Structure 1
């Protein structure tokens, strides 16, 4: 039988955990709000603390570096996207065409600009200056998500061989990174394009180009 003192200790621990999660949630929400309106380089840890209405030192208790904060934000955004996509892929049992799969995956990225922008910085920025434990946890979860989503893609596309569903998502990642970098114009480049209409063919429509690239990739796999 649990004593009253033990119950009080357990209740205090539970409240502390709830408080920790609430502060972590505040910081992630604040970072996302700031990131939506500006760039990664412009977001400062002090700004995040101010937006979350917490002391600056509190940020570093939960996220020792800016990279750690934004890697955690990317994790949240990425796995929420995987969950939504998996739900879509799991509906029904009919087989899909490659074009249908391309439209579905590319369409699922619409409105996900913070996610795609963070993915473009994953290897070069966010996986730097973070702990081995954080990266390992992220990679383990990523492998599980890729396995689930890849299996669903293989069920929909009978021309894919076992394991090619995971490889498909690796190609999706590569295309998202490259196209997002091409689509995001710096203020200087945007000014040049506005002053020189003949340069407009250099502009990249992220969603359209991703759809066409994925369609071409799957068409090649289907006709091999």
Structure 2
């Protein structure tokens, strides 16, 4: 073991779990601030370390790759969002299908307005983040997310008569897929955040409006299909 490795090992042993948690949070916050201003490929571990006022070697004690940091941000971001949504819905005794659709459309809009970062990271998940993210940490984060999502599914199903838990979970996945997909296609008229020119006017999108409209149309089709199936089932009984 080199002198530098011994020093980092001693540092880990003397820090409390709370201190490590705060430092990890500071690193995540710094990475998030960079991601709001830069493309993922332009963010360097050295810049993140400098922002937190630690050495690059110390940074590797917490995250051994840049992809690990952003995978953690993605998973904790969705965990926190699902918890927030769960708490909102728990306060509502009952929702009709119309009310539930209106709620989910509103949430789709809020997800873009307040949590755009996790949608952008979700678009990078398979093609970029999984290439170098730690598999054990990722599985641990997804397992925790799954546990939170299962509770949210039950919360929805208990308040919306026409929605089963698995249907609620599927709807949450589709919501993220639609919003992330539209957001990832919303910059075709730009290159590295610079306008290319009017000749690409066709590619311009309103990410919030278009993504929310697509999700609303998906829900209309989904629940129309359920209503038809229910009606046909009723007819077949006579």
State the TM bucket, normalised to the shorter chain: 0.7 to 0.9
Which residue in the other structure is 1:95 paired with? Answer: 95
Shift of 1:175: 0.7
Shift of 1:202: 2.8
Aligned pair 1:26/2:26, yes or no? yes
Within a 5 Å distance, the mapping from 1:7-18 to structure 2 comes to: 16-18=16-18
Which residue in the other structure is 2:169 paired with? Answer: 166
1:103, 1:211 within 8 Å by CA — same for their partners in 2?
yes
RMSD of equivalent CA atoms: 2.3
TM-score by length of 1: 0.83
Encode CA deviations 1:130-164: one digit per residue, 9 max, x unaligned.
Answer: 22311210221121122122233334443334411
- Among 171, 182, 188, which residue is 2:185 paired with? 182
Q: Relative CO higher for 1 or 2, CA cutoff 8 Å, sep ≥ 6?
A: 1
d(CA) in 1 for partners of 2:135, 2:82: 23
Q: Which has the larger displacement, 106-115 or 51-60?
A: 106-115
Describe the shift of the 1:184–1:81 C-alpha distance in structure 2 as closer, same or farther (beyond 3 A): farther
Unpaired segments ≥5 residues, structure 1: 1-12
Aligned pair 1:46/2:49, yes or no? no
Encode CA deviations 1:26-70: one digit per residue, 9 max, x unaligned.
Answer: 211111111111111111000000111111111111101111111
1:154, 1:160 within 8 Å by CA — same for their partners in 2?
yes
Q: 3-state SS of the aligned residue for 1:128?
A: helix
Which residue in the other structure is 2:5 paired with? Answer: none
Runs of 4+, deviation exceeding 6 Å: none
d(CA) in 2 for partners of 1:33, 1:202: 28
2:153, 2:166 within 8 Å by CA — same for their partners in 1?
yes
Which residue in the other structure is 1:203 paired with? Answer: 204
Within a 5 Å distance, the mapping from 1:135-146 to structure 2 comes to: 135-146=138-149
